[in-house]
Amino acid sequence: MNHAAKPPSASATSMTEYVLPTHANAMGNVFGGQILAWMDLCAAMCAQRHCGTIAVTAGIDDLSFEHPVKVGQFVRLEGRVTAAFRSSVEVEVRVSGEDGSTGTIWPCVRAYLTFVAIGPVGAPAVVPPLLAEGPEDEARRADAEARRRHRLESRARSAAPG
């Protein structure tokens, strides 16, 4: 694995999906679980590009859907690594809906996913550092570190007896 620091732009990942009837519920809105699957894929590609090895989903923070996307519209996904830790990275995925006929774009959901890099023997592997390219990247990393502290505290509370 190459351990040279990489900027977020080196692993940023964009995807666009066309919503078909098989993706939708009886109201013609895409299923939340389908959007989650696309988010997981987008984040996995982003994490693999950064880590230089396969990475598995360790956790997904809370998410809530703001506005629906309907059959015939597009789902746009933008993934970026916000922080690299020891063997894990946090990936932010922003999802929007797009009406391809009018060009209208609206926010659908945003979430933070944690991926763990897996080395050749199947164990967590050290990931390359994230190289901030400017103050916005620094701010995203500071926010990611605060979320990680919160996650670690929450996992420690769940693991505690009683």
Residues that bind ligand COA (CB under 6 A): 56-59, 85-88, 114, 116, 124, 151
How far apart are CB 83 and ligand COA at their closest, in Å?
Answer: 9
Q: Which is nearer to ligand COA, 108 or 125 (CB)?
A: 125
Comparing every residue's Cβ against ligand COA, the nearest one is: 59
Distance between CA atoms of residues 59 and 51, nearest Å = 17
Q: Which is nearer to ligand COA, 21 or 157 (CB)?
A: 157
Q: Which is nearer to ligand COA, 82 or 88 (CB)?
A: 88
How far apart are CB 116 and ligand COA at their closest, in Å?
Answer: 4
Distance between CA atoms of residues 60 and 79, nearest Å = 14
Residue 58 tokens, joined: 């360790």
Distance between CA atoms of residues 54 and 49, nearest Å = 9
Q: Which is nearer to ligand COA, 57 or 74 (CB)?
A: 57
42, 15 contact by CB (below 8 A): yes
How far apart are CB 17 and ligand COA at their closest, in Å?
Answer: 20
Residue 91 tokens, joined: 């990936």
3 state SS of 95: strand
